[in-house]
Each structure stands twice: as structure tokens, then as C-alpha cells.
């Protein structure tokens, strides 16, 4: 495992090349002015090979921003000392990994905002945090709570998705939101960190209860 083998290295190199090519072309021309054929050609690979790596055209562009955020979040949770509340560990790790963003990623996010299909792909990508997150949570809860860990991880993913949805829509028709939230106070779309913490807060009691069940 020290050397993943040339096989795996070339594989990751190709994936990286596709990522970068997709993002670059999407920035240069419009996002819909680029076909998979162009991306494949820019990466020096056949179009058929392209969707051996990415199921949809949008995934390639989005994955340039998403990268391996899933593993980073899981690692960040694992890095917290075991003394702190699990809920805090998860919340802080998520906020940290979503706000510590480079300049290049921020520009790419602006691009994503413009296209509905890209936004959807970006939101769908959040579901990918569930498996690694479930693993680290299960590690803290012990084997008995493996099932609970899975549910909690999925809930976190859902909450993050909601936070992102609420965040990347500054340009929304005001009347379109009047379906049922006409009662008045809708969150005025604060910073991303605020949105994430607000979305994750309701889940904290569930984490506390799960944690209490294994460490009384």
C-alpha cells in the first residue's frame, strides 16, 4: 500500500486531468459550451473512458471543487480529541472543511451558481460524505451503535445539503418562497458557516443521546 502501483497512480492522474480540464473549459467558454468530447480530448482520453470516471458531465466540473472533501471531513472529526462532544466535533469539522476554501475553489463556486444543473450536481455531491462520516462516528459509538452512526451520518449529510441550498440562492424571486413560509421570519441567508451551524444544531440532541448510550 506504500506504493499504490503504477496502475492506480495513472488512474488518479487521469481523474485529475479530467477534473481540471472540465473546470478549465467550463470557465473559458460557458459551462454548456463544453461537451464531454471536448473534456475527453483535453485530457487525452476517449469519450467513452470519460464516463468510466464520471457518471454525468456535471460531476467532473463539480468534483474539481468537491475533490475529496468527504475524507477530509472524516479525518477532521477523527482528529478532535475524544473528550469533546461528538456533536461539536462533527459540526466544527464540517464548518471547517466547507469554509477553509481556496481562491480557485471560490471562483469555481461562482461558476456553479450560474447553472442549475451544476448546482444540483454540487448538492448531490454532499451525499458522499455519509459513508466516511458514518465510519468515524461508528468508531466513537462502538460497534453496538453502528446502525445509529449510519443514521446520524445521513442526517448530517441532509442537514448540510439544506444549508448549502439555503446559501447558494441569493438570486431568488421573493414570491417564489411564499408557498408555506409566509409566516414571516425566513433566515436572511447569513454566512455559510452560520447556515451550516444552524442546520446542524437541531441534530445535536440526537448525537448527545447516542453518545450517552455508550458512555454513561
What is the per-residue DSSP string for 88-138? Answer: HHHHHHHHHHHHS--HHHHHHHHHHHH-HHHHHHHHHHGGGGHHHHHHHHH
CA distances from 69 to 13, 30, 44, 96, 180 (A): 18, 26, 26, 11, 34
Helix (H) or strand (E) holding 12: helix 5-28
Binding-site partner at residue 209 among DNA, a second copy, none, CB < 5 to 8 Å by type? a second copy
Binding-site partner at residue 51 among DNA, a second copy, none, CB < 5 to 8 Å by type? DNA
Neighbours of 20 (CB within 10 A): 15
Q: 37 or 172, CB closer to a second copy? A: 172
Q: Site mask, DNA, residues 9-48, x = CB under 7 A?
A: xxx--x-------------------xxxx-------xx-x
For a second copy, which residue of 43, 65, 157, 168 counts as binding (CB under 8 A)? 157
List interacting residues with DNA (CB under 7 A): 5-11, 14, 34-37, 45-46, 48-53, 55-58
Interface with a second copy by CB under 8 A: which residues? Answer: 135, 138, 143-144, 146-148, 150-152, 154-155, 157-159, 161-162, 180-181, 183-187, 198-199, 201-206, 208-210
Amino acid at each position: 500500500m506504500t506504493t499504490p502501483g503504477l496502475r492506480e497512480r495513472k488512474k488518479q492522474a487521469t481523474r485529475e486531468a479530467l477534473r481540471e480540464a472540465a473546470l478549465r473549459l467550463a470557465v473559458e467558454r460557458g459551462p454548456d459550451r463544453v461537451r464531454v468530447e471536448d473534456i475527453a480530448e483535453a485530457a487525452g482520453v476517449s469519450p467513452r473512458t470519460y464516463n468510466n470516471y464520471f457518471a454525468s458531465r456535471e460531476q467532473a466540473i463539480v468534483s474539481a471543487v468537491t475533490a475529496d472533501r468527504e475524507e477530509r471531513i472524516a479525518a477532521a472529526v477523527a482528529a478532535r480529541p475524544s473528550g469533546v462532544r461528538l456533536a461539536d466535533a462533527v459540526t466544527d469539522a464540517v464548518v471547517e472543511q466547507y469554509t477553509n476554501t481556496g481562491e480557485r475553489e471560490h471562483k469555481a463556486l461562482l461558476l456553479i451558481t450560474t447553472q442549475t444543473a451544476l448546482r444540483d450536481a454540487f448538492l448531490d455531491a454532499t451525499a458522499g460524505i455519509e459513508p466516511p462520516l458514518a465510519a468515524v462516528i461508528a468508531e466513537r459509538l462502538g460497534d453496538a451503535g453502528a446502525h445509529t452512526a449510519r443514521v446520524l451520518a445521513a442526517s448530517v449529510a441532509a442537514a448540510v445539503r439544506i444549508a448549502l441550498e439555503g446559501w447558494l440562492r441569493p438570486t431568488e424571486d421573493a414570491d417564489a418562497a411564499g408557498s408555506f413560509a409566509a409566516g414571516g421570519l425566513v433566515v436572511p441567508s447569513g454566512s455559510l458557516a452560520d447556515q451550516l451551524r444552524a442546520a446542524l444544531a437541531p441534530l445535536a440532541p440526537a448525537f448527545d443521546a447516542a453518545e450517552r448510550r455508550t458512555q454513561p
